[in-house]
Structure 1
Amino acid sequence: MKITEIKSCFVGPAVSPEQFIAEHFFIFLAKGSMNGYDGHKHYKLKAGECCMVRKNRLARYNKQRDNNEFEKVVFIFDEVFLRDFLKKHSFAFQNYQSKDAFIKIKKDRLINSFLLSLDPYYTETGQMDKAFEDAKREELLLILLQLQPELSDILFDFGIPGKINLEAFMQQHYKFNVGLERFAFLTGRSLSAFKRDFKKIFSQTPNRWLTQRRLQEARFLVEEKKQRPTDIYLDLGFEDLSHFSFAFKKAFGVAASHL
């Protein structure tokens, strides 16, 4: 069985589809490609490649089909599983530091052999047999930590984000479509403290500032970069085109499409 013939599977607890990464997860692409962005860098994952996506990060990713096909293998490493794993295994921390939300995993025969070993555990419905999920998650994690020991510093850090520079964070992450509670959590504040600090720094409410900042960027992209509203509204944090178009015209007195 070729590595590119692996079926899609999703192993672990369900995760929210929003742009806040609540749990670490491993992803391997058998077919297609994926583009990712975390506010700092753009990433590209191609067929045959895999990476870890880190929890407590804002990240956006989109898939691109290859001949109308997109096959992926996803393993969620939630905190409950990781704490149980540590009771059975011990690992030394490597003092590894990185801001990246997407961490590439080296190509190795151990990864390939593991992925190929999944095939017998698929049920008739194409899902992973529940009885073997945790055993396969544990096996994969042992492989990952052997290949890249520095992952222990990321996976076994169970702390919550500390208080950071709010202005710098918001200027870098305003495009992400998440609630104020998420922004507050990621900057190390309660929601009330986040709103209070935000008002002191920006002299307006978070919701109003986010809308204005996104619209400013939209006008720049349309006027200067000649991009179409239909191509940018989602990347700027707007939920639908009609909302974006209404807000743009209200702010600037002209429809974005007319620019």
Structure 2
Amino acid sequence: MRNIVSQPDQECSVISGEEFIREHTFFAIKRGTTKCFDGITTYIFNQGDCGLVRKNRLSKYCKGKGGPAVETTFITFDEQFLKKFQARYQPALFDLTSKDTFLHIPPSALLSNFVHSFAPYYKADRNIISSFADVKREELLLILLKFQPELSGLFFDFGMPEKLNLEAFMNQNFVFNVHMDHFARLTGRSLSAFKRDFKAIFNETPSRWLLKKRLQEAHFLIEKKRRKPADIYLELGFETLSHFSYAFKKYFGLAPTAISKAGQSTPKATLK
């Protein structure tokens, strides 16, 4: 996993190839505006802002349409590094009251100077020189804990996610396109327990339920909110527009573009 990456992106800025956040991650917005969504709340970070995103959470990232290209620097704090840091510095432990997925980090001269110090340590592939990776991460973590010691409650909590209400969680997070084992972990279950509990609650397999739920939401957005299929398929967890269109037509009997026409009725949905 890359520890420090500075990446420009014309449309969206993502920490990894998935929307499942594996590690606590610091980020600094060097240019543009990034909107972050965790299933409940939309967070906005502008040029010059810094923030943290928690591990074991789901999130989406994108910039506002028509804005400048987004350039963001990311630094991840993996559990192995954090345990070594804790053993070396033995920081005081405090409770972090906020449950937010994204945390704004207040500006300070030390943090600003640190962010601006990144450039000399980068290689051509935009990764930091490996011999400096832990040094720079230690420096950043010391700065964060100096000004917000309560962040120790986030960084040094190595427990598993607590068991959550599965029905409420899935109805809130069905738009995230992540592996089933990630859904299981986030609800505090093994994969087998997740599938068993899911069947008991929804009387359906997770994959079939997710497809139906996403297609039903797509129908609502197109028919009632007048959204375009090309603008919503990624929002709803589909990887390609062609896959979305195929699944939609198979389920509803009409192409997604057809139901937006005035007076067009929708046949009864079927999914075999």
- Same-fold status (TM-score > 0.5): yes
Following TM superposition, by how much is the alpha carbon of 1:52 offset from its aligned partner in structure 2, in angstroms?
0.4
Aligned residue in 2 for 1:199: 199
Confirm whether residue 10 of structure 1 aligns to residue 5 of structure 2: yes
Residue aligning to 1:49: 49
Aligned to 1:21: 21
- Contact kept in structure 2, 1:29 and 1:72, CA below 8 Å: yes
Q: Which amino acid aligns with 2:175?
A: K
Q: For structure 2, list consecutive stretches of 5 or more residues without a partner in the other structure.
A: 7-14, 261-272
Give 1:140's aligned residue.
140
Q: Distance in 2 between matches of 1:215 and 1:253?
A: 12
Structure 1 residue runs without a partner (length 5+): 1-8
- Aligned partner of 1:216 in structure 2 is 216
Using the TM superposition, give the Cα deviation of residue 65 of structure 1 relative to its aligned residue in structure 2, in angstroms.
8.8
Q: CA deviation at 1:96?
A: 1.6
Look up the match of 1:164: 164
Distance (Å, rounded) in 2 between the aligned partners of 1:180 and 1:171 = 15
Q: TM-score, normalised by structure 1?
A: 0.89
Structure 1 residue 203, shift from structure 2 partner: 1.1
C-alpha distance in 1, partners of 2:104/2:200?
Answer: 39
| Superimposed CA distance per residue, residues 205-254 of structure 1 (whole angstroms, 9 cap, x where no aligned partner) | 11111111111111111111110000001110111111111111121121
1:6 paired residue number = none
Instruction: Report deviation, 1:124.
Output: 6.1
CA distance in structure 1 between the partners assigned to 2:120 and 2:180 by the alignment: 44
Counterpart of 1:151 in structure 2 is 151
CA distance in 1, matches of 2:93, 2:172: 29
Post-superposition offset of 1:185: 1.1
Instruction: State the one-letter code of the partner of 2:40.
Output: H
1:49 is displaced (CA, Å) by 0.3
**Structure 1 178/67 Cα, relative in aligned 2: closer, same or farther at 3 Å?**
closer
C-alpha separation between the residues in 1 aligned to 2:158 and 2:101?
16
In structure 2, the CA distance between the partners of 1:125 and 1:38, relative to structure 1 (3 Å rule), is closer
Residues 109 and 194 (structure 1 numbering): CA distance in 2 closer, same or farther, change over 3 Å? Answer: same
- Contact 1:40/1:100 (8 A) holds in 2: no
In the TM superposition, residue 255 of structure 1 has moved relative to its aligned partner by 1.3
Cα distance in 1 for partners of 2:223, 2:111 equals 47
Contact 2:34 2:70 in 1 (8 A): no
Cα distance in structure 2, aligned partners of 1:229 and 1:257? 7
AA aligned to 1:20 is F
Distance 2:49 2:68 in 1: 19
State the match for 2:173 in structure 1.
173
1:230 aligns with 2:230: yes
1:80 and 2:80 are equivalent in the alignment: yes
Scaled by the length of structure 2, the TM-score of the pair is 0.85
Give the whole-Å Cα distance in 2 for the aligned partners of 1:75 and 1:173. 26
Tell me the amino acid that sits aligned with residue 32 of structure 1. Answer: G
**Partners of 2:155 and 2:192 in 1: how far apart?**
30
Q: 1:19 to 1:124 in 2, by over 3 A?
A: closer
Calculate the aligned-residue CA RMSD, in Å: 1.9
Distance 2:233 2:125 in 1: 37
Partner SS state of residue 71, structure 1:
strand
Which 10-residue stretch deviates more, 133-142 or 113-122? 113-122
Per the TM alignment, residue 179 of structure 1 is displaced from its structure 2 partner at its CA by 1.5
Give the CA deviation at 1:122. Answer: 3.5
Per the alignment, residue 244 of structure 1 pairs with 244
Deviation at 1:119, TM superposition (A): 3.4
Deviates more, 1:31-40 or 1:92-101: 92-101
Distance 1:225 1:53, change over 3 A: same
**Within 1, Cα distance between the matches of 2:118 and 2:235?**
35
Q: Determine the C-alpha separation between the residues in 2 that align with 1:28 and 1:199.
A: 42
Verify the 8 A CA contact 1:36 1:61 in the aligned structure 2. Answer: yes
CA distance in 2, matches of 1:237, 1:138: 36
Matched residues in 2 for 1:67 and 1:196: separation? 45
